[in-house]
Every structure is written in C-alpha cells, then in structure tokens.
Amino acid sequence: MTSSLGWRLALGLLGGVLVPLGFAPFDWWPLGVLGVALHYLSLVGSRPREAGWLGLVFGLGLFGVGVSWIYVSIHDYGAAPPPLAALITFGFVLLLASYQALQCYLWRRWCADRLPALTFAASWLLVESWRGWFLTGFPWLYLGYAHVSSPLSGLAPLVGVQGLGLLVALLAVVPVQALLDWRTGARRRALAALAPLLTLLLVTVALHGTAWTRPAARPPLRVALVQGNIPQELKFDPAAIQAGLDRYAALTEPLWPLDLVVWSETAIPLVYQNEPALLQSLDERAAKSGTALVTGVFFRSDQGLHNSVVALGSGRGVWHKQRLVPFGEYVPLREFVSDLLALFDLPLSSLAPGSDPQQPLQVQGIGVAPFICYEVVYPEFVRSHAAGAGLLLTVSNDTWFGDSIGPHQHLQIAAMRARELGRSMLRATNNGITAVIDPLGRRRAELPQFEAAVLEAEVQVYEGLTPFARWGEQPLWWLSLGVVGLLALRQHRDRTAIAP
C-alpha cells in the first residue's frame, strides 16, 4: 500500500463524499460506513500534521455534499448573487471541515498509539458533540442519523443518535485496524478487538424492534397536518398573505371534527397581538367543534418578537422558539458583521429566542412537546423538553431548502427524535415533507412535496421513558472523554519514558 500523501488525500476525500450517501434521501447507509473506513485507512501511518490535512479534506467531502442545500437557501431565497452564495457556502463547509481536521490532528498526536480504533471513534463522538454546541452548534449529519431505519437503530433509545454514531464509527474502523494488525502478525489483538464489536452488534440488532414505551390508556388522537404549500416569495408579501390564510382555511374546513389540526411554521405570517379578530375567530371555530388547532405565528413579548406556535380551541399554550437559525433568524456578533451583510444587501433578522424552560402545549388533556424547525435537530434540547409530553410535534418551513436534499435530512432527524424518546412525532411543514412518525422512527404516512394537501391519521399517545430519555447523552460524553484522556496520558508517559 502506497503511503504518498496525494493518495491519502484522494482516499480521504472519497470517504467524505461517500458518507452523505448514507443519509436521506439516498439511505445507502453501508456506503456511509465504508466512507468512514476509507477515511481511517487514509490516516494510518500519518504524522499529526498530515492527519489534520487528511481530516480537513475528508470534511470538505462530507459537508460539501451533505450540506450543499446551504447554497440553495442563500442564493435562491436569500437573494445573494451566485459568487457570494458560493463563497459563503464554501466558508461554512470549510468551518465544519475544520472540526474533522482538529479531531484527526489531536487523535494522531495524542491517542493513536494505544487502541487507535477505540480512541478514534471516541474522539469522533467528542468532536461531533463540540460541533453541536459551539457557537450555538450545528448538530447536522451526525453519523447515527443514517441508521434511524437500519438494523442498528435499536441502540438509539438507549444512547441516542451520538451513541449510535459511536457504534457506526467502531463498525467502520475496528475491522480496518484488525486487518492491519492481522497482516503485521498481531492476530490475537485483532481477534480481541473484533469479538466485543461482534457481540455489541448482535445485541444491537436484537434490540431493533424493542419498545421501551407503552401506549397510553386512551383512544388514539384523530389528527390532521395541513401543508399549505405557499411559495416563499409570497409567504410574507402583504398583498398575498390573505390568499395564503384563505388556503389554510379552505383545507381545514372539513377537518374541524378532528381532535387536533396542525398548521405549519409561520402559517399565519402575522403578529399574534396585531390580529385579535383573526385569532379569536379561529379559537372560537376550533372550540365549537372540540378541535385543538396548533399554528405557527409571530408573537410579541417583553423580550421582543418571537417565532412561535400557539394552541387554540381545545388546546392551550404558547411556545416561543429558543434555538434560532444563525443569520436566518438572528445575526450572531451583529455589531461586527451587520455592516458587511448590509454591503452585500443581505437581509438582517432580529427575532428573539424564547425563555427556558417552557411548558408543553396542552391538547385534549395531553402534553404535546412542540419544536419549531431547527430546534428538532438538537437531541438534548428535545429530550429535556419532552419528558412530560405524550406526543412530539415539529412544525417547519423547509421551503428555504428548495428541491434539495435538505428537507429529507431534516425529516430523518425528526424521525430519530421519535426513535430516541419512544414517542410518536407529528411533522407539519409548509411545502413538505409533512409526515407522521411512529415511536420506532418509521414514517407511517407522509405527503409529497410541493403540493397543498392534508395528511390525516390516528396517532397513539405514549407514556414511559426510554433509557436515553432518562439519562441523555452526558454519560457517553464523560465515558468517551475518560477513554481518550486516559489513553492520551498513557501515550504521553510512554513517549516520555523512551525519550533520550
């Protein structure tokens, strides 16, 4: 096997390009595993600085393909000219790729001498966690998401998407390392690594259909999700707002006898306090038929203007979005970048985040945990706000993604939240993909994109908690940190002991 840096870079780039093919809409999850394996193979025998470059190239392939929908949002709907949209997209991809570069450099520098496959997988988890937190985080394309429907998904209710991602990383790199050890004569070490991995895989597959929660002792809810399919260029146009509201009203008219009707994020693109007649009429109409109507609307409070959902009729409660989209709903470091964005004539947003904690909505006597668009991608955030709820709900406006892979990835992420927490998930969007997801993360029904339509279903309410719902991700973080830290310390001591 040649050890030229050029060959390694090509192998790492190929691995990065393959990994996104494991996610929706492709769902070729074995290719994702193969991509990580090729990436690990490219790192074997590299020096720390080389490993950093290899990680960067891998990240450019991973995120260059995986978040290509960023360009669509910025250019098609953010009105940025193509060169600027391409520059911003590349800068974002480069930032994300730098996390992989950091992981590979530090792993090669501090951990790769002892149990390299284990420390590689553990450091991968830690860097994914850091990426999901730092500067509000971008917890997208976690390895585990590709396996919400694979035979490995049974691990998700125990350790969440990141624990599942840890298993995927081990599945990719342990056989590679075992093969290398076997070729160098360390056959006992190779078998010692493969045996526990095989055992873990067998346990995981056996848990695939295990239900950790149970149906509540009440009839299923009769629900309807309304997909208005309002074009983005018309959604906030004052001259077209009434037509959009009329479409939602017409689609909803046959649904009033149902238990719950859900409109999408900002389905009412107006401020709640400015439209008392409209909201009162909807409240009265829903109450008359015993229906709970949940809709997206802007809401003004002492903290500012919020992106919110409200429950009307037989429902009660308000939820203000807490995890805002950087540059889409607020501008980080506004005092430093607002002049630059104004120079390029890019829109500036100034929504306020909701306070924490907030209570679930109440719908027909049931706690419903609502999450607006981007909020659903944060595993710990969803877990912490869903403990007292019997049903999960997310509303979104994925029109910003256009006809790209973004909405499919977003739906896959929502399905993982259902799988982790053992709850049904309702997903209502403006133009797709609207879906009903069961507690095993399976899509029971969905609407096609880019159509105005209604999705009706009977949805069971669940009770009880999965192990992940009880404990979250933190035990796995500390375990991974302990493994990496301990082996890094031992490697440092070994090198110090043999130094002249």
Question: pLDDT tens digits for 67-125?
Answer: 999 998 888 777 778 888 899 899 999 999 999 999 999 999 998 888 899 999 999 99
Q: Where in the chain is the domain with CATH 3.60.110.10?
A: 214-465
State the DSSP H helix or E strand holding residue 141, giving kind and residue range, or none if neither.
none
For residue 371, the SS3 value is: strand
CA distance 106 to 125: 13
**The dihedral of CA 205, 472, 69, 102: what is its sign?**
negative
Residue 475, token pair as written in the block: 């035990």
Q: By C-alpha distance, which of 273, 215, 220, 396 is closest to 323? A: 396
**The dihedral of CA 364, 223, 156, 212: what is its sign?**
positive
CA distance 257 to 264: 19
For residue 344, the SS3 value is: coil
Q: Which residues contact 234 (CB under 8 A, 6 or more apart)?
A: 240, 243, 244
Residue 50 has a pLDDT of 95
**Which is it for strands 366-372 and 260-262: parallel, antiparallel or unpaired?**
unpaired
Residue 500 has a pLDDT of 57
Residue 181, token pair as written in the block: 């050890």
Residue 212 has a pLDDT of 93
Neighbours of 194 (CB within 10 A): 17
Give the catalytic positions in this structure.
Answer: 265, 321, 373
- Exposure string over 114-151, b if 16+ CB within 10 A, otherwise e: ebbbbbbbbbbbbbbbebbeeebbbbbbbbbbbbbbbe
Could you say which architecture CATH assigns to the domain 214-465? 4-Layer Sandwich (3.60)
pTM to 2 decimal places:
0.93
| Residue 212 CA: distances (Å) to CA of 76, 163, 278, 317 | 43, 17, 42, 28
Residue 346 has a pLDDT of 42
Contact in structure between 439 and 391 (CB atoms under 8 Å)? no
Residue 136 has a pLDDT of 80
For the CA atoms of 306, 452, 360, 266, the dihedral, rounded to the nearest 10 degrees, stands at 0
Neighbours of 267 (CB within 10 A): 26
**The dihedral of CA 479, 483, 484, 488: what is its sign?**
positive
Give pLDDT < 70 ranges for the chain: 1-3, 326-349, 494, 497-500
